[in-house]
Structure 1
Amino acid sequence: MGEMASAPGAHVQSAAAPSPFPPIADYAFLSDCHTGALISPDGSVGWLCVPSFDSASVFGTLLDRQAGYFRIGPFGVHHPTARAYEPGTNVLITTWKTPSGWVEVREALTMGPSEDEDEVTPHSRPPADDDADHQLVRTMRCLEGSVEMELVCEPVFDYGRVPAEWTMVTDSGRHIADAHGAGQTIRLQTDLALGIEGDRVRARRTLTAGDEVYCSLSWQAGLASVPDVQEAGRRLSATVRFWRAWLDRARIPDHHWRDPIQRAALVVKGLTYMPTGATIAALTTSLPETPGGERNWDYRYTWMRDSTFTLQALHYLNLDWEADEFMQFVADLEPNEDGSLQIMYGIDGRRDLTESIRNDLSGYAGAHPVRIGNGAFDQRQNDVFGAVLDCILLHSRRSQRLPRRLWALVESQARCAEAVWREPDQGIWEARGKPQHYVSSKLMCWVALDRAAKLADIRSDAELVSRWRATAEEIKQDILTNGLTDAGVLRQHYETDSLDASALLAAIFGFLPHDDPRLRATVDAIADELTEDGFVLRYRTDETDDGLSGREGSFLICSFWLVSALAITGAHQRARDLMERLLRVASPLGLYAEEFDVATGRHLGNFPQAFSHLALIEAAGRIIMAEFQQEFD
């Protein structure tokens, strides 16, 4: 599979090629902190897995135009006039103009006060005051004139493999229908009159000014559902209150970047799995990093390397409850036999994420293969230990205590870093080529021992402080001896002079002082030589054996890392300029995928991407803090 080899004169597929698949960045993101949905501009659900983020999809037109469809909107009109989130929420409002009138659709994965134990996705954390309703609720209100509305619901279970079998619920007056397939049942309830047409149901009604109707799709225990349009409105209002109350707890600086920081925070929270405290890397699987290519991965899992950036962002925003929930998730994880943590886990903490290929799905715009699971879960990546220990130190300093249940994790991760830092690995980008002595992996092993020593100091364990500090210094000297080019720039790995954006972590994690010429040379080299039109690449694919064909777009997280590194090394104006450019390429709803294709201005990769939004929060924080500091200088 994968993309075709580029013959002389052949055209490489463009991210902006005409396609029945909407641009990735045109989707709206909904979440109830158990699962998420992507809503395409035409009002259809392009992606929804139930009951949880990593369940099989029920609606999957994002990956195959036949893999499940659910739309409510004006009949024959597919391009809305406006789409926006209700401010401070993940509740979507879409406004439509038709030849005969105006209509507004309001929708959300609803949340409200939690009353009973959640039987659908059981909690291992203390239940919160509000929790998921396990429903997608949508209301339609005619604003002016008259509008003919249509509802079409055609779920296909198990990633597009099993068409629905529909049954009308007796005595419902054609208002409730259940869809069955692959061992699942979901319930559609509406005040429209439904008709079953094979493996789909459909309804239509002409609304006049002031009319309002609703529909709800439920996978609640017992298939409890919304009985009428008034209750639908109450559920949506409760969801608005939930998101705004949550955002009220966050510390958002009064700055002209306030809105993008708020939206990034809402995305990060929306990608959090409330039952366990885990945060997924992205909502989707197999959205391509290369148009039409093979760089397609399942990101619906928790990466340990994300942990330190997650903790940084949550603590910066003063969201200490979420930070603690995530730390408890990490503390509960089952380690490998040597005591190390895997590079990623399932959102329920499971270790086995075996990868499979779904050849029956076309893939987004023909990008193959479509992957379920992630084959990198058992790779050796020596950066994991540093990420885990950095977040434990962050959390311990914030809470002013080192919980007993975390100390065993500190010892095991420090011991693992001591044992493996001299060995090659697959590196931070999970390259599927030959293991190498990646500088970023050595750097993160330094972080591991440096943070472990500081944690041991909190415990007043002088022997471990001395031992771990000595090992950290040994790693640092090894990097400075073998990991620098003749120009004093940190290289990708010890056998090459190629650049790698992960070297920017040397600034973010304090590996070298902010005014060290080697750090500044590294940051400048990446800014000048590892960019396309100012946006940062992970590495040059023609210089790196990552086991894959084809090129990729610029990685948004790397560009945000560059903003942070520029701010750290004192290049404040250059940092602000790049930050402004990055904010301008957000999706129409303020969201980011994993990559940005400079040539076409399109987003690439899984969406929305937690790492991109986490890095946005940190980069903005670095600049804002520098600006505040300048006021006192």
Structure 2
Amino acid sequence: ELVVRFDYGSVVPWVSRREDGRLELIAGPDRLILDTAVPLHGENLRTFGDFTLAAGQVVTFTLTWTPSFRPYPARFDADAAMAEAARGWEEWSGQFTPRGEWDATVLRSLLTLKALAHFETGGIVAAATTSLPEQIGGARNWDYRYCWLRDATLTLYALMQSGFLDEAAKWRSWLVRAVAGKPENLQIMYGVAGERRLTEYEVPWLSGYEASAPVRVGNAAHGQRQLDVYGEVIDAFYAGRRLGLSPDASSWALECKLVAHLETIWDQPDDGIWEMRGPQRHFTHSKVMAWVAFDRIVRSAEEYGLDGPVAHWKTVRDRIHADICRQGFDAKLGSFVQSYGSDQCDASLLMIALVGFLPAADPRVVGTVAAIERQLLRDGFVLRYDTGPGADGLPPGEGAFLACSFWLADNYVLQGRIEEARALFGRLVALSNDVGLLAEEYDPVKRRLTGNFPQAFSHLALIGTAHNLLEVAGPARQRSAQTSATR
């Protein structure tokens, strides 16, 4: 049975049989072509085919999409196409650099990243889906079919440390193109080709996955101010240099402009890493990543002989560091807090040690990790933050965030708690489905994956933790290297 509805299920196509026997389904700009030897018939705006298979028999169905205004495509050999695709994936996988214990798991995640990458632009979408709910029946349903700058550094580490230099170079090139322009126009996310207008709207005629409404297309977060993306972008360029990517002639001038603009806004409130839809705040993680931007541009200048006002950048870096330690740390709680003046815990604070803001053994970091363990663990997995009433402008409730759980394992590695890190990593990997894929979140009550799927952020975090556990200078170890910044 085949039921085709274009435009998110709202448009019934015009169906006709071509002279060559293929079925053509057209509506507006879209055309599908169904090719099969099975006799077909239509009934109630659906297409049916009845057939019986014996052991060893094969029946092929080929469904091809083309723009409706393009010439009618020629037939192709489905078996040959499948064989060619298999060869391509096998050849690509053959570039993988084996590391040890979790090679199969890491390669599965790398294959996922490759599948989420656009073959022409090099952009890697956050997930292949929209509106799969973070909580079944809930309203936290977002469109993740876009490219987030936040994934940039971890993507470069994951690809380059695994032997995939071409994909890393394509991703860096995509990044340069996407963020080009005025630094004040930097977005947190872009379309797969670098598109900027990602207008969000709801699709009310769809009930949503397991009645989880609304279904959304587009993402309004593209217009938010999230200061952490400046740190992620500058860190990605620094990581590219450190990992051996060929220099990009335009990137240094771009980086200098970005930090010059960041200097004028780092002390302003923003929407934060979790893209909250309530009032803006002075999120501690956002300030930490602003510090990362200045720290990494200083490192790039000093380590690679690049020209810039290094002394001034160091002054700004140290000023941000002092501000965070003064306003983002609560001495009574013994931990850093979600935002200045709050008493809330937040899993993004796990990045403090991972990016080298403070050593993992610093009592303030140890206290923060302990607070997250006390307040945000559910069945051993990490929530992003308390999503209770009024927390973020949305109805309460979501699952444990898998990337944050991997970050906790990374902190364990840096603190020397290796057995705890290995145990947590093993439990996280065990959440994968039958083909090794992870979603964004996990519901510890219903014991199921939730959120968009498969999720690049989860697989990037998995690769990073595997590398950290294998002690191959993984991203946590490299990003947390000591700096000359004030401690």
Match of 2:465 among 619, 629, 633: 619
1:336 CA displacement: 6.2
1:188 aligns with 2:34: yes
1:532 CA displacement: 0.4
Report the 3-state secondary structure (helix = DSSP H, G, I; strand = E; otherwise coil) of the residue aligned with 1:153: coil
1:596 aligns with 2:438: no
Asked whether the equivalents of residues 183 and 258 of structure 2 are also in contact (C-alpha less than 8 Å), the reply is no
1:247 aligns with 2:96: no
In the alignment, what sits opposite 2:53?
207
Letter matched to residue 446 of structure 1: W
In the alignment, what sits opposite 1:416?
261
1:624 CA displacement: 1.1
In the alignment, what sits opposite 2:19?
170
Letter matched to residue 156 of structure 1: R
In the alignment, what sits opposite 1:508?
354
CA distance in 1 between partners of 2:317 and 2:179 (Å): 26
| Structure-2 change in CA distance of 1:544 and 1:568 (3 Å) | farther
CA distance in 1 between partners of 2:247 and 2:360 (Å): 29
CA offset digits 1:361-401 (Å, max 9, x no partner): 11111111111100111111100100001110111122265
1:224 CA displacement: 3.0
Letter matched to residue 116 of structure 2: L
Count residues in correspondence: 470
Report the 3-state secondary structure (helix = DSSP H, G, I; strand = E; otherwise coil) of the residue aligned with 2:50: strand
| Structure-2 change in CA distance of 1:438 and 1:491 (3 Å) | same
Match of 1:558 among 384, 395, 404: 404
1:329 aligns with 2:171: no
1:330 CA displacement: 1.2
Name the stretch that deviates more: 527-536 or 538-547.
538-547
Name the stretch that deviates more: 465-474 or 529-538.
465-474
Asked whether the equivalents of residues 37 and 60 of structure 2 are also in contact (C-alpha less than 8 Å), the reply is yes
1:463 CA displacement: 5.1
In the alignment, what sits opposite 1:430?
275
**Greater helix share, structure number:** 2
CA distance in 1 between partners of 2:436 and 2:24 (Å): 35
Asked whether the equivalents of residues 14 and 25 of structure 2 are also in contact (C-alpha less than 8 Å), the reply is yes
Asked whether the equivalents of residues 340 and 412 of structure 1 are also in contact (C-alpha less than 8 Å), the reply is no
1:332 CA displacement: 1.0
Unaligned runs of 5+ in 1: 1-151, 629-633
Match of 1:375 among 193, 217, 220: 220
| Structure-2 change in CA distance of 1:390 and 1:463 (3 Å) | closer
Letter matched to residue 540 of structure 1: D
Letter matched to residue 241 of structure 2: S
CA distance in 2 between partners of 1:171 and 1:419 (Å): 64
In the alignment, what sits opposite 1:232?
78
1:458 CA displacement: 4.3
CA offset digits 1:539-596 (Å, max 9, x no partner): 0112763110121110011101111111112111111111111111111221111110
CA distance in 2 between partners of 1:285 and 1:400 (Å): 33
Match of 2:305 among 452, 456, 460: 460
CA distance in 2 between partners of 1:223 and 1:344 (Å): 35
CA distance in 1 between partners of 2:389 and 2:302 (Å): 42
1:614 CA displacement: 0.5
1:525 CA displacement: 2.1
Asked whether the equivalents of residues 523 and 566 of structure 1 are also in contact (C-alpha less than 8 Å), the reply is no
Runs of 4+ in 1 over 6 A off after TM superposition: none
CA distance in 2 between partners of 1:180 and 1:164 (Å): 5
CA offset digits 1:50-73 (Å, max 9, x no partner): xxxxxxxxxxxxxxxxxxxxxxxx
In the alignment, what sits opposite 1:148?
none
CA distance in 2 between partners of 1:347 and 1:627 (Å): 30
1:464 CA displacement: 1.8
Report the 3-state secondary structure (helix = DSSP H, G, I; strand = E; otherwise coil) of the residue aligned with 2:53: strand
Letter matched to residue 155 of structure 2: T
Asked whether the equivalents of residues 340 and 385 of structure 1 are also in contact (C-alpha less than 8 Å), the reply is no
Match of 1:161 among 10, 31, 36: 10
Asked whether the equivalents of residues 340 and 416 of structure 1 are also in contact (C-alpha less than 8 Å), the reply is no
CA distance in 1 between partners of 2:72 and 2:164 (Å): 33
Report the 3-state secondary structure (helix = DSSP H, G, I; strand = E; otherwise coil) of the residue aligned with 2:334: coil
Asked whether the equivalents of residues 467 and 473 of structure 2 are also in contact (C-alpha less than 8 Å), the reply is no
Name the stretch that deviates more: 486-495 or 606-615.
486-495
CA offset digits 1:246-273 (Å, max 9, x no partner): 1111213231x22221111111111011
CA distance in 2 between partners of 1:405 and 1:451 (Å): 17
In the alignment, what sits opposite 1:29?
none
Match of 2:250 among 405, 412, 417: 405
Asked whether the equivalents of residues 154 and 164 of structure 1 are also in contact (C-alpha less than 8 Å), the reply is no
CA distance in 2 between partners of 1:419 and 1:280 (Å): 30
| Structure-2 change in CA distance of 1:561 and 1:386 (3 Å) | same
1:523 aligns with 2:369: yes
Letter matched to residue 411 of structure 1: C
Identical-pair percentage: 39
1:461 CA displacement: 4.8
TM-score, reference length from structure 1: 0.72
Name the stretch that deviates more: 373-382 or 400-409.
400-409
In the alignment, what sits opposite 1:273?
118
Report the 3-state secondary structure (helix = DSSP H, G, I; strand = E; otherwise coil) of the residue aligned with 2:7: helix
Asked whether the equivalents of residues 202 and 216 of structure 2 are also in contact (C-alpha less than 8 Å), the reply is yes
**Greater strand share, structure number:** 1
CA distance in 1 between partners of 2:181 and 2:335 (Å): 35
CA distance in 1 between partners of 2:198 and 2:148 (Å): 12
CA distance in 2 between partners of 1:430 and 1:627 (Å): 31
Report the 3-state secondary structure (helix = DSSP H, G, I; strand = E; otherwise coil) of the residue aligned with 1:333: helix
CA distance in 1 between partners of 2:433 and 2:301 (Å): 44
CA distance in 2 between partners of 1:446 and 1:587 (Å): 38
1:439 CA displacement: 0.5
CA distance in 2 between partners of 1:318 and 1:340 (Å): 34
Letter matched to residue 357 of structure 1: E
CA distance in 1 between partners of 2:147 and 2:417 (Å): 33
Letter matched to residue 483 of structure 1: G
Asked whether the equivalents of residues 335 and 342 of structure 1 are also in contact (C-alpha less than 8 Å), the reply is no
CA distance in 2 between partners of 1:578 and 1:617 (Å): 14
In the alignment, what sits opposite 2:103?
258
Write out aligned runs for 1:103-182 (5 A).
Answer: 152-172=1-21, 176-182=22-28
CA offset digits 1:118-167 (Å, max 9, x no partner): xxxxxxxxxxxxxxxxxxxxxxxxxxxxxxxxxx2211000001012111
Unaligned runs of 5+ in 2: 475-487
1:316 CA displacement: 1.9
Asked whether the equivalents of residues 315 and 323 of structure 1 are also in contact (C-alpha less than 8 Å), the reply is yes
1:219 aligns with 2:65: yes
